[in-house]
Amino acid sequence: MNVVMRCLDNSAIPISNDKLVNKNDTAKCGISYCQIICYICRKVYYYMSLLVVGSMAFDALETPFGKVDRIIGGSATYVAWAASNFHEPIKAVSIVGGDFPQEEITQLENRGVDFEGVEVVKDGKSFFWSGRYHLDMNTRDTLVTDLNVLAQFNPQIPESYKESEFLMLGNLVPAVQISVINQMKKRPKLIVMDTMNFWMATAMDDLKKVLTMVDVLMVNDSEARELSGEYSLVKAAQKIQAMGPKYLIIKKGEHGALLFYGKQVFFAPALPLEEVFDPTGAGDTFAGGFIGHIARTKDISFENMKTGIIVGSAMASFCVEKFGPTRLKEISQEDIENRIEEFVDLVNFDISLV
């Protein structure tokens, strides 16, 4: 497609295949969204920014298939890798220690991820998490959570981030999630939030507060049960929606994901895979695919969220194929399109009742 992106000051930014040629072009203009004009159909698109907040970490992982003592992880890392297949620029907010490899930052920058909002504490240590999976990889034991620099994180959101249209609050200290929302100049079109049982045990009051401020909550089934005190996921969804978020996504690992909106429910299966090597980051990758799709299409309807769930599920199915984010770094647009097709084939059937 022959398109030219124009900033609001009317300067042109060349893009090819719907992607920015030079990521710095957006940073320079300092405006959170730009116009894209298609010279063939003359349609004007707005290029809106996506703000991603979360941890950037080192993980130690043990699965039935192998062990790794130190690999890059963190919720923002996975979200950014997944979402960058669908949307640029991505504005990241996180904190790392001086031990976080520059190489990893450069790789993400080359994918259109802006690090202006990522604080580097030179003499500090990055967040460290360690987990062990058993043969049933739907459950895991957390062995270590060393917050390190995350314990002192007080993000200062850069001016150029403050009008972002889409906000993905990855799993992080709930007080930090609140602080980010409060620093936005205007409320984003959609705020999606992920969290986990760790914060339910250590920061429930803040967690309940941030729930009143977001549109979509993503949790897994055991977290939904813990948060609501209900075993039935339908009852749990009703209780959680009453706490604030209009939309609730419940992830069920290899059993797919549910989307609740009022009385409506949508279900998407997970792709049956021959091998699941390491499920770490699958939830965050799902979130990245979901929000990346929503930000690209700029459509926050329930119908489009259903597609977002399929896209998220497709991305998560790649993540589990290798340790950490390794597989996410390898895949191409063609791989993604083929995988989404596999999903469509998996759930598509004709039925005629006589």
Q: Which stretch binds ligand AMP (CB under 6 A): 14-22, 98-106, 280-288, 327-335?
A: 280-288
Output 53 or 240, the one with its CB closest to ligand AMP: 53
Crossing angle of helices 302-319 and 282-297, rounded to 10°: 140
Alpha carbon distance 285, 283 (integer Å): 5
Selected from 59, 62, 88, 114, the binder of ligand AMP by CB under 6 A is: 59
Residue from 13, 50, 57, 167 binding ligand AMP (CB under 6 A) = 57
Q: How far is the CB of 340 from ligand AMP (least distance, A)?
A: 20
Closer to ligand AMP at the Cβ: 20 or 328? 328
Give the burial string for 44-55 (b: 16+ CB within 10 Å, else e).
ebebbbbbbbbb
Q: How far is CA 80 from CA 110, 129, 199, in A?
A: 12, 19, 22
Listed ranges 39-47, 209-217, 277-285, 332-340: which one lies at the site for ligand AMP (CB under 6 A): 277-285
Residue from the set 281, 288, 289, 308 that interacts with ligand AMP by CB under 6 A = 281
Q: Judged by CB, which is closer to ligand AMP: 13, or 224?
A: 224
- Cα–Cα distances (Å) from 289 to 141, 267, 282, 294, 351, in that order, read 25, 16, 10, 9, 30
Residue window 220-259: x/- pattern of binding to ligand AMP, with contact defined by CB under 6 A:
----------------------------------------
Report which secondary-structure segment, H or E, holds 127: strand 127-133
Q: Is 55 in the site for ligand AMP (CB under 6 A)?
A: yes
Q: Are 265 and 259 in contact (CB under 8 A)?
A: yes
| Tally of CA atoms within 13 A in the half-sphere of 87 that contains its CB | 32
Q: Compute how many residues bind ligand AMP; rule: CB under 6 A.
A: 17
Minimum distance, C-beta of residue 282 to ligand AMP, in the bound complex (Å): 5
Kindly identify the residues of this chain, within the stretch 187-226, that bind ligand AMP according to CB under 6 A: 196, 198
Q: Using CA atoms, how far apart are residues 109 and 103, in angstroms rounded to an integer? A: 10
Query: Contact residues for ligand AMP (CB under 6 A)?
Result: 55, 57, 59, 73-75, 129, 145, 171-172, 196, 198, 280-284
